[in-house]
Amino acid sequence: MSDRNRTLSRRWFEEVWNERRTEAIEELMSVDVLGHSESGEISGLDAFQRFREQFLTAFPDLKFVVEDLIGVGDDVVVRWSASGTHAGDALGIEPCHRHVSVRGMTWHRFKDGLLVEAWDNWNQGALLQHLSELPDVDRDRRIKRRIELAERIREVREEVFGPTGGPEVARLLGLPARTWYSYETGVTIPAEVLLDFIKESGVSPNWLRSGEGPRYPRDAKAPGAKPEESTP
C-alpha cells in the first residue's frame, strides 16, 4: 500500500502542479478533502481548485521538485522544493517579477487511492512578506553607478591601450591582469587604483565619474588620447 501511495504523492506534484493537469485533481483527490496550512484550511475539492488557480496565476512558471518521499500505510511525507516568478497579482500583491525559491514538507493521507487529508508545512508568511517588500532603490542606484563606471573604464582602456591592453594596464598599475579585468566587469575599484588609472590614461576624472564633459583634458599626455577640437 505504501508503494502505491508514494506513487500517488509523486503524481500529485508532477501532474497537478508541474504539468498543470486539472483533470488529475479529480483523479487523485477526494471531493471532501481537507487541507491544513499556515494560511488556513481548505475544505473540499472545489476550494482546492480555486487555491491552485490563484497560486498558478501569481506564479505562472511555478515548478516543484520532489526531493524525497517516505510512506507508511496510508500516509506519505514528501520533502520538496519549489521555485517561480511572481508575475501575477492573484495573491493580492502587485507583481514584483522576482524569482523566488522555497522548501517545504507535505503530509498526505490517502484512502482507497484518493487524497483525503493533507498538511503543508512551509513559511508562506515569509514568502508573502518578501514579495511585498519595496526594492532597495539606493542599492540599485549604487550598482548602476558602479556598472556604468566599469563600462567607462573599459572604453578608455580600449581607446588608449587597445582592445587587448588589459594586461598592459595591469602591469602599469602593479596588479594581476585578472584583478584589473574584474574592475572592468563592475567589481568596486579602490580609489588609489582609480587615481593611478586616471594618471596613466589621461582621462578626465569628471568624465570618468559622470560620463559628461570632455573625455580627455586639453593637456592630456596619455598615448592615444584625443584632444578636444578647438573652436575658432
> Where along the chain do its domains lie?
2-132, 137-210
Q: State residue 37's pLDDT score.
A: 86
Percent of all residues in the chain with a pLDDT value above 90, rounded to a whole number: 59
Q: Which residues contact 198 (CB under 8 A, 6 or more apart)?
A: 205, 208
Burial of 219 from C-beta contacts in 10 A (0-12 / 13-18 / 19+): exposed
Is the pLDDT confidence value at 10 over 70? yes
* Cβ(180)–Cβ(166) below 8 Å: yes
Distances, alpha carbon 95 to alpha carbons 57, 126, 132, in Å? 10, 16, 9
**Cα–Cα distance, 101 to 103 (Å, whole number):** 7
What CATH architecture applies to the domain 2-132?
Answer: Roll (3.10)
CATH number of 137-210: 1.10.260
Q: How confident is the model at residue 217 (pLDDT cuts 50, 70, 90)?
A: confident
Least confident range from 2-6, 18-22, 83-87, 137-141: namely 137-141
Measured distance between the N- and C-terminal CA atoms of the chain, rounded to whole angstroms: 94
Q: How confident is the model at residue 134 (pLDDT cuts 50, 70, 90)?
A: low
Site of grid cell 573625455 = 215
Percent of all residues in the chain with a pLDDT value above 70, rounded to a whole number: 90
* 188/227: higher pLDDT: 188
Mean pLDDT to the nearest integer, 15-29: 97
Mean pLDDT to the nearest integer, 77-83: 94
Q: State residue 139's pLDDT score.
A: 64
**Cα–Cα distance, 125 to 38 (Å, whole number):** 8
Helix axes 137-161, 191-201, angle to 10 degrees: 30
**Cα–Cα distance, 139 to 157 (Å, whole number):** 27
Is the pLDDT confidence value at 135 over 80? no
Is the pLDDT confidence value at 223 over 50? no
Fold agreement between 2-132 and 137-210: no
Q: How confident is the model at residue 116 (pLDDT cuts 50, 70, 90)?
A: very high
Question: Which residue, 119, 105, 106, 91, is CA-closest to 33?
Answer: 119
Q: How confident is the model at residue 137 (pLDDT cuts 50, 70, 90)?
A: low
Mean pLDDT to the nearest integer, 69-77: 94
Quote the mean pLDDT of the chain. 87
